Amino acid sequence: MVSFNQVDPILQSDKVHPDDFEFELPEENIAKYPSDPRDSSKLLVLPRTGEAPEETVFTDITEYLDPGDVLVANNTHVFPAKFQAIKVDNGDPINIFLVRELNPNTWEAMVDPARKVRIGNSIRFDNEIECDVIDNTVSSGRVLRFEGDGEVIRAKLAEIGNAPLPPYIKRDPEPEDKERYQTIFAKEPGSVVAPSAGLHFTESLIGSLEDKGVDIVEITLHLGLEAYEPITISDLSKYDMQGERFRISNDAVNRLNKAKKEGNRIIAVGASTVRALESTQYQGEIIVQRENWTDLFVYPPFNFQMVDGLITNFQQPRSATMILQSAFYYKEGLLEAYQHALNDEFQFLGFGDAMLII
């Protein structure tokens, strides 16, 4: 049993400010590697019904899910989007981070040093692939256009690229990171950020959940870099969330709607899953298969229609995901949970420990 103070959920603050989610995150609380095995990470369970929180390990999550519950996971696959390249004209080294594919053979990228990369420059990857810089974007970004067969180029980039580990992981990249920074659900290429809540699952744990009668449903939402950015705007109603592509199949729609009609719970694995589900619902159901973009920003107060439980990690201060967590739980209780996690040496961020809010 966890001993931190509790505030009754009915006392939740309706209005929040990004300053409410500011805290000091020591370097020693930032996980540099995932737990081994992954499902051995710590788990803090936060009941939305007012009972005391509980601290356990992630494998015990089976005890908190019921037969008929639907666990919804994001099956996006993280593209190995970091590269060391050179400028063709003078051989200067350039660090490239392919942020998103705008259309076949055209990518938005972050480049470093940006001052050396201008429109009209050509850049060479691994002495085999070349691209042209065709435009500038905000925050020192560039638009790169590759020539040739798109599938061949994508396959070669995936072969030579490095896993896009977040900047808060202060260590050199390792070959194993390409696998470490993927969930077991990963199938659909498109993200440059891993849906970190899914990193806790193992095949063994999924088997235990299925044996208990939990339905495992997969959807797709491709995550961009916004997960790294703290929110600095004071009025959350004016915050513009970056659009992200998602897809919910007809099979997933049918299983989710069936669960809702039968009164079973929908448990979202991660904030990306919440955003996709809540973007598609109408009066508590997903009506049709959807493939679209969402810029939904979830902040208190928010009326959740699809999601009944949330598996999530401990996030960065002032992040959009931390604010989403406060909408699903309540600000005061969430801040207590974060303080408990810091005091009890939980690991934070992408490779860190987990919360179950249910």
Residues 6+ apart with CB under 8 A from 348: 25, 29, 30, 31, 313, 314, 315, 316, 341
Whether residue 70 is predicted with pLDDT greater than 90 in this model: the reply is yes
Grade residue 49 by pLDDT with cuts at 50, 70 and 90. confident
What residues form DSSP beta bridges with 130?
124
Of residues 338, 321, 299, 305, the one with CA closest to residue 46: 338
Q: Is-cis flag, bond preceding 166, omega within 30?
A: no
Q: Taking residues 76-96, what's their average pLDDT? A: 91
Whether residue 39 is predicted with pLDDT greater than 50 in this model: the reply is yes
* pTM for the whole structure: 0.89
Whether residue 13 is predicted with pLDDT greater than 70 in this model: the reply is no
Q: What structural domains does the chain harbor?
A: 9-78+180-357 (3.40.1780.10), 82-160 (2.40.10.240)
Q: What are phi and psi of 63, to 5 degrees?
A: -70, -20
What does 168-197 look like in DSSP terms, one character per residue? TS-S---TTHHHHTS-TT--EEEESS--GG
Instruction: Report strand pairing: 82-87 vs 215-221.
Output: unpaired
For residue 194, the tally of other CB atoms under 10 A from its CB is: 28
Of residues 215, 182, 218, 217, the one with CA closest to residue 200: 182
Q: DSSP character for 113?
A: S
pLDDT score at 218: 97
Token pair of 247 as six digits: 């897809």
Q: What is the pLDDT of residues 238-253, one digit of tens each?
A: 898 888 889 999 999 9
Measured in whole angstroms, the distance separating CA 81 from the mean position of its chain's CA atoms is 16
pLDDT score at 338: 96
Whether residue 268 is predicted with pLDDT greater than 60 in this model: the reply is yes
pLDDT score at 10: 44
Q: What is the pLDDT of residues 290-315, one digit of tens each?
A: 788 888 999 999 999 999 999 999 99
